[in-house]
Structure 1
């Protein structure tokens, strides 16, 4: 059965009408609710059947019934379209972060968008994964395994900046890709430090850092 809503001239007056393809005839005064599912939305119509005014048949023998309707209400649910749009946006965000288009701090603000770390997966440099309460960035291509969890394998993973943690624990950078920027804040040896320079790979207390004054 198929329902097509439209308008037509009925008894000399333009009115809303309903074309029904197949199925039993509808009764005068009956309230009809139809739901049509599409890829990007769902359309729900509800109307009152005022009267049947025409029956027609095409060359294939398909019968069409036409009804004058009133009290027509239509609701369009675009949740599916929004869900698809949001999913596409999230995928684009992750892809941009993993190609270097988004910094670690911004990635950390949305860490729930990234997948959790798993053993037995081939990881490439730049990929982000969640582990525990932190977001990590792969700094060396490898196939993960038990014992190489991000919080244990500093040569494979670096902690992405987490805005919820003002003074994250310092970890030794392996190169320019995970070096600290000027103004970066870290904790090390029980103290708080602020980076004095960009591309900082030095250990706090040795060079390139100033101890924060509380």
Structure 2
């Protein structure tokens, strides 16, 4: 009986710790980042497709893109919405891949997850591309019991807010058709890795 009781408590302790671990968003972010970097520095001929497929399997990228577009989402014709989302995914990925080209593989250090509420958290990291670390924080939220990325803050600058402001300015005088043209033109930019203006 004592052996059974001991086994029960050991099992309960293991499950509790396993549940806590899987609920920590930093674990998934770390695993995803490591895999993306592995693909990025591989000899694959389809790096962009492989990274996009892997990211899409682990995160709903539409969430952060919709948050970036903000109220402008409703200004995009319904027939154009899917195309706009896919173009933004390709652009961000291209900019990331081109921007990392020729650079050494970065080292990423993770700080303790900050829980802002039951459904919101921040995962602070430091990315070492050179001697000076770059502060990068993932802002995440629970959606259908899964941690999803809501925003990425680089050196206290919100990626979502930065691009939302650009989309706001763009839609003051432009249509969703013009946005598609702009995004498609940007995809042909050979210096995309240096900046990604809308």
Q: With structure 1 as the length reference, what TM-score do the two structures score?
A: 0.28
Between Structure 1 and Structure 2, whose CA radius of gyration is higher? 1
Structure 1 or 2: more strand by fraction: 1
Higher relative contact order structure (alpha carbons within 8 Å, sequence separation ≥ 6): 2
Normalised by the length of structure 2, the TM-score is 0.30
